[in-house]
Structure 1
Amino acid sequence: MSEWFRQAADGRITLTLHIQPGAKKTEFAGLHGDALKIRLAAPPVDGKANEALIRFVADTLKLAKSAVSLKSGQTSRRKVLEIQGAPLSAIQAFGTTN
């Protein structure tokens, strides 16, 4: 199993992410050490980047925003998200998407 995501026994999946806010467009950018790098077009101001990250991941997985929550890294580039209700195969595809 990859280092940037983990699946709990109850089906919840945690993602370790490295975020680059203020990018030209929002996209997956491959692996960054033990984290998946995501470029966000939103600026790192007033929680806008965190909101954009949750919306981007939820939309990509076709889930409600309430299924994606920020567990740590509120003000850091390194963030941990928790996802409920997504198939593991969809998460694994993140690492191969550019």
Structure 2
Amino acid sequence: MTSAACAVENGDGCVYCVLDVHAGSKREEFPAGVNIWRNAVGCSIRAPPVEGKANKAIVKLVSSVLSVPKSSVTIVSGQTSSVKRICIAGMDKDALVNTLDSCL
């Protein structure tokens, strides 16, 4: 098993995580494995990548899995890409990695 640590880094007041997003999937899943070539955590969502629907679904799913408010999850780069960098306020790297690894 590969750890999610390769996709997570501490930031200023938040922790950053790189996501490899699969929009339009049959089911929603986070984390959905680790992509070692992209150093990213997998994230599958049902919403299509149209008019920001996928980005809203990502924020909702990530906040739900991590038990943080939606306002604590921000997509900081990759708004129109399948590889996104998110910022999660109120968490540190160790807590996020432990939570993600326990779900893998």
Same-fold call, TM cutoff 0.5 = yes
Alignment of 1:3-82 (within 5 A): 3-8=6-11, 10-27=12-29, 28-33=31-36, 34-82=39-87
SS for the counterpart of 2:26 is coil
SS for the counterpart of 2:91 is coil
Query: Take 1:86 and 1:26, find their aligned partners in 2: how far apart are those partners?
Result: 23
Query: Take 1:96 and 1:29, find their aligned partners in 2: how far apart are those partners?
Result: 12
Which of the two has greater helix per residue? 2
Check whether the contact 1:61–1:90 (CA below 8 A) recurs between aligned residues: no
In structure 2, the gaps of 5 or more residues are none
Structure 1 consecutive aligned stretches of length 4 or more whose deviation exceeds 4 Å: none
Check whether the contact 1:14–1:82 (CA below 8 A) recurs between aligned residues: yes
Percent identity over the alignment is 33
Q: CA RMSD in A?
A: 1.8
In structure 1, the gaps of 5 or more residues are none
Number of equivalences: 97
Q: Residue type matched to 2:5 in 1?
A: S
Larger displacement relative to structure 2 (43-52 or 83-92): 83-92
- TM-score, normalisation: structure 2: 0.83
